[in-house]
Amino acid sequence: MKFIDVHCHLDGDWCGNMPELIKKIGDCGVQKIIAAGYDLKTSEFSKNLSEEYEGVYFTAGFHPTEIGKFKEGDLEKIERLSEHEKCVAIGEIGLDYHYPDTDKEGQREMFLRQLELAHGKRLPVVIHSRDCAEDMLSVLKENRELLKDGALLHCFSHSTEIALELQEMGAYFSFGGASTWQGSKKARRTIAALSQDRLLTETDSPYMPPKSLYGTFPNTPQNIPEILFNMAEVRGVDREEMAEIVYKNAHILFKKLAN
Ligand SMILES: [Zn+2]
């Protein structure tokens, strides 16, 4: 079976010996992983990783909680990274209202600038969306024309109704470890309700491992099979078939995965 992790972070000390970690991930059948940037430094780090390892791809962008680090000129650097043959998307970008001192205006502006950048480069976007359902929906609705090259809602946590509305607009959805947890009724309901050609798997490593490793650290892309098997069970689909569907979906959304 071939697996894919469409969203993980491999920039922490927890990675330890990188060649060993990458080998272990491959040994689990996880053939391709997309290392997500969340600021300039991690976008550059992920690019370097993709140059070193065949199955590693990357995204470049500013995460909403990291915009405080942004300096004028950084977006031009993100743009240059996006031209790399293994940069599959602009991300992760979006809105995150989780913390009380959130600069909502600043987040929105940075999100829009990066949606425009992705559109200009004909690249899909990887969207982070937490505690901001209404605003996210309205930004995406108002800027539909910027999403023509594809959008992934990663670690999707809003309601099934919102997922269906975004699906209408062409969005894809990836689910991680949390979708396997006891009590993850909402994620399961959404996985069951979406069209199978919009489903993807991710770990968002290193946090939120799947059920069998609940409460442990780190979560790694080695845990993709457990996440995929849970998805297959929820959908009532054979594991092998589910793996094929997800692998294919990823290549449809992220065209540069073929490089
Ligand atoms: Zn992430």
Q: Ligand 1 center to residue 1 CA distance, Å?
A: 25
Q: What is the mean pLDDT of residues 109-121?
A: 98
Q: How high is the pLDDT of residue 259?
A: 76
Q: Say if residue 225's pLDDT is above 80.
A: yes
> Over pLDDT 90: what percentage of the chain?
97
Q: Ligand 1 center to residue 161 CA distance, Å?
A: 23
Q: Ligand 1 center to residue 38 CA distance, Å?
A: 7
The distance of Cα 128 from the centroid of its chain, to the nearest Å, equals 8
Q: Ligand 1 center to residue 36 CA distance, Å?
A: 6
Q: Ligand 1 center to residue 8 CA distance, Å?
A: 6
Neighbours of ion ligand 1 (CB under 5 A): 36, 204
Query: Between 1.10.287.1260, 3.40.50.720, 1.20.1440.230, 3.20.20.140, what CATH number should domain 3-258 receive?
Result: 3.20.20.140
Kindly list the domain boundaries of the chain, sorted by start residue: 3-258
Band the pLDDT of 202: cuts 50, 70, 90: very high
- Model pLDDT for residues 153-174, shown as the tens digit of each residue: 999 989 999 999 999 999 999 9
Q: How high is the pLDDT of residue 55?
A: 97
- Model pLDDT for residues 131-151, shown as the tens digit of each residue: 999 999 999 999 999 999 999
- Model pLDDT for residues 210-223, shown as the tens digit of each residue: 999 999 999 999 99
Helix (H/G/I), strand (E/B), else coil: 98: coil
- Model pLDDT for residues 97-114, shown as the tens digit of each residue: 999 999 999 999 999 999
Q: Ligand 1 center to residue 7 CA distance, Å?
A: 6
- Model pLDDT for residues 49-107, shown as the tens digit of each residue: 999 999 999 999 999 999 999 999 999 999 999 999 999 999 999 999 999 999 999 99
CB–CB of 204/176 below 8 Å? yes
DSSP string, 199-241: EEE---TTS---GGGTT-S---GGGHHHHHHHHHHHHT--HHH
Give the C-alpha separation, 82 to 76, whole Å.
Answer: 10
